Amino acid sequence: MNEIFEIDVSAAARVQFPGARVLAMRLPGVGSVDGAGLDWSANRAAWTGVDKDALLTHPSIAPYANYYQRAGINPRKHLPSVANFIHRAFGRAQARLPRINEVVDTVNWVAVSTMTSLGAFDAAGIEGPVLLDLSGEDESYEPVGGQGREPLPAGLLVLRDSKKVLSLFSIRDTVHTATRDSTSDLLLLGCVLPPLDSTPVRAALQLVAQRLGDGRSPALETLAGQGPWFDDHGGCFIAETLSPPVSELTERYQQIIASAAFQQRYRSLLKHYVGRATPLTLVENFSREIGVKTYLKREDLAHTGAHKINNALGQALLAQMMGKRRVIAETGAGQHGVATAAACALLGIECVIYMGLRDMQRQALNVQRIRLMGARVVAATGGTQTLKDAINDALRDWVANADTTYYLLGSALGPHPYPAIVRYFQSVIGDEARQQFAALEDGALPDALVACVGGGSNAIGLFSAFIEEPDVQLFGVEAAGQGESTGNHSIRFGQGGQSRSGVLQGCRSYVLQDANGQIGETHSIAPGLDYPMVGPEHAQLRDSGRANYLWASDDEALQALQLLSRCEGIIPALESAHALAGAIKVARQLPQGARIIINLSGRGDKDMQTIAQLTSAEEVPQ
Ligand SMILES: *Cc1c(COP(=O)(O)O)cnc(C)c1O
């Protein structure tokens, strides 16, 4: 029996793997996840009297027990599976490592079958094992864990980053790359590959191909690897009184988000409640106007009218799974309040929204929306009666009610782990956009991305899928209001010395402030961009030069809004109009034939009053 054999999967997977030579490598005896050896209940007797605690702390077992723990699976309960798996798989895999490495060196892409190989890869120091379970006779080609067919949460699979190993969660992207390179090989590595009977392999690949059509889950490594520090920015600057709830959140969010239960529910709600995937629309008329081929990522079509629902829903679900009965949130313009109220209404969670008194008057319609969905709006009457005062009141509430209450933060800001959590929930934007663009543009990547930056959540959500792609230029657009020199603006990355690194509301980043560190007043016609601080990851991306930040004034944004409305029949939110205005500037620097994606973070309905006031003089027909 040959150890390595070439299999013909072209019939089944021609679409997904054209031109790839596919090898399979059998690792006989390395382990089996077919059930028998690993089914804890079936083998209970064999484990009576075993010192579980000693086993759990054994150096060869502890890492795996930790993986289980992180994934929300109790390792004590599943210890027989873990231990059995380790003993059988790890040891034998180790003996095969030189050979595995030799083969891996000869191919460009590796797909791993079964949990067992994960152990082998880990021992080999091969990075990023990810599973493609090719073992099944049935239809459940889920990634599997030690417990028979119990799905392994994705976070468990991704140990380290790797370019070579194909993941079920990133396979779609990498396959595009792989298949464009005609010399690419794909190695299927696993103990349960059939002796040249490739039917299950075919079936698996077919199923994977099918699944790929449904879109992949955002990679959880983006979550695990984030924060608390983004070089000098970020951190967790909190009062001692806030320490217990923040610690609780830090301990639990990764575990919960990585769990299969959370992922299933969240993905389902994104699809059926939010209406994802949102389209990626080629806007030909607008493209002609600005001179580059432009796609819009249509977050304006998400439920409640903007990207904010992705995060609100994710965190509300997280709150529920943490056992919290009550959610509080702050809101400035009201958009985050609306999204949070909607998520809480859906999940049956009590909801309180803090809002500055002045903002409540300016955004009366959103106050009504929030109340209609059953949430309470509490006026913040201190300070300037705007967003930062609302945040202060919300934090006070959190301290007082931490046992029952979850604080649902609305942008990629605040103390760790909020920037990581919000980035993760918004990364669905970038993941979808990347796939959609590749499907429409023959597997290519866009030349540039443009997004507006308030706190930075819609921008980081779009950027996240492309940060590792050096050929994709990233542009964030800040609100220049009436111009930097007037002082009436929200430019945190300006040159005028009004913004420096500082700590505000839990994290360090660029903050508009005066010489004494007093927080500066901000202005933008777009309420969502009117905030004195920018998210810490943007500060890092800016300092490292990976992303570029430019700005658009009130007037420029309004003009861009009118342009898109007229030539495409799409009325953007005033925030998103800043991205459009920024893109017009970016387009001038891009080479002929460039293709870009602009994040259309929201729709303009909420801004109609402002727009009407500012444009009435020229627009009213006589
Ligand atoms: C809130 C909001 C923004 C700004 O917030 P980010 O966290 O920077 O994305 C942008 N666009 C719309 C439509 C918004 O509602």
Query: What would the DSSP string read from start to end of 65-133?
Result: HHHHHHTT--TTTTHHHHHHHIIIIIHHHHHHHHHHHHHHHT-SEEEE-HHHHHHHHHHHT-S---B--
The preferred substitution site among 297, 464, 601, 603 for testing ligand 1, maximizing ligand atoms within 8 Å of CB, is 601
Domain 280-302+426-613 architecture: 3-Layer(aba) Sandwich (3.40)
- For the Cβ of 73 lying below 6 angstroms from any atom of ligand 1, the answer is no
- For the Cβ of 306 lying below 6 angstroms from any atom of ligand 1, the answer is yes
- For the Cβ of 308 lying below 6 angstroms from any atom of ligand 1, the answer is yes
> What is the distance in A from the centroid of ligand 1 to the CA of 309?
11
CA distance readout (Å), 78 to 43, 91, 259, 337: 11, 20, 16, 42
Do residues 452 and 574 touch, judged by C-beta distance below 8 A?
Answer: no
The preferred substitution site among 297, 303, 307 for testing ligand 1, maximizing ligand atoms within 8 Å of CB, is 307
Catalytic residue among 293, 308, 388, 606: 308
Using the atom order of ligand 1, give the atom closest to the CA of residue 459.
9
Which residue's C-alpha comes closest to atom 3 of ligand 1?
A: 528
Residue 202: its H or E element: helix 199-214
- For the Cβ of 564 lying below 6 angstroms from any atom of ligand 1, the answer is no
Give the CA angle between residues 567, 569, 575 to the nearest 5°: 95
Which residue's C-alpha comes closest to atom 10 of ligand 1?
A: 575
Residue 243 appears among annotated catalytic residues: no
Domain 4-216 architecture: 3-Layer(bba) Sandwich (3.50)
> What is the distance in A from the centroid of ligand 1 to the CA of 336?
9
Pick from 168, 166, 178, 164: which is nearest to 215 by CA?
Answer: 168
pLDDT value of residue 206: 39
CA distance readout (Å), 62 to 66, 87, 92, 145: 6, 12, 18, 16
Whole-number Å distance between alpha carbons of 129 and 456:
31
Catalytic residue among 330, 478, 484, 575: 330
- For the Cβ of 310 lying below 6 angstroms from any atom of ligand 1, the answer is no
The preferred substitution site among 299, 304, 308, 606 for testing ligand 1, maximizing ligand atoms within 8 Å of CB, is 308
pLDDT value of residue 51: 57
**How long, in residues, is the chain?**
622
Residue 6 appears among annotated catalytic residues: no
> What is the distance in A from the centroid of ligand 1 to the CA of 427?
14
- For the Cβ of 422 lying below 6 angstroms from any atom of ligand 1, the answer is no
Using the atom order of ligand 1, give the atom closest to the CA of residue 573.
13
> How many Cα neighbours within 13 Å face the side chain of 17?
29
Residues of the chain with pLDDT under 70: 1-225, 616-622
- For the Cβ of 449 lying below 6 angstroms from any atom of ligand 1, the answer is no
Give the CA angle between residues 250, 66, 464 to the nearest 5°: 50
- For the Cβ of 457 lying below 6 angstroms from any atom of ligand 1, the answer is yes
Which residue's C-alpha comes closest to atom 2 of ligand 1?
A: 528
Structure tokens at 234: 């970020």
CA distance readout (Å), 496 to 492, 513, 533: 10, 11, 16
Which residue's C-alpha comes closest to atom 5 of ligand 1?
A: 454
Using the atom order of ligand 1, give the atom closest to the CA of residue 336.
1
Whole-number Å distance between alpha carbons of 84 and 42:
13
Structure tokens at 453: 């930056």
> What is the distance in A from the centroid of ligand 1 to the CA of 495?
23
Residue 601 appears among annotated catalytic residues: yes
- For the chain, the C-alpha Rg in angstroms (whole number) is 26
Pick from 77, 64, 151: which is nearest to 114 by CA?
Answer: 151
Structure tokens at 536: 């810490």
The amino acid that residue 53 corresponds to is: D
pLDDT value of residue 96: 53
Give the start-to-end residue ranges of the domains of the chain: 4-216, 280-302+426-613
> pLDDT per residue over 83-100, tens digit each?
444 444 444 445 555 555
Give the CA angle between residues 360, 365, 371 to the nearest 5°: 80
> What is the distance in A from the centroid of ligand 1 to the CA of 452?
7
Do residues 96 and 73 touch, judged by C-beta distance below 8 A?
Answer: no
> pLDDT per residue over 576-602, tens digit each?
999 999 999 999 999 999 999 999 999
- For the Cβ of 419 lying below 6 angstroms from any atom of ligand 1, the answer is no
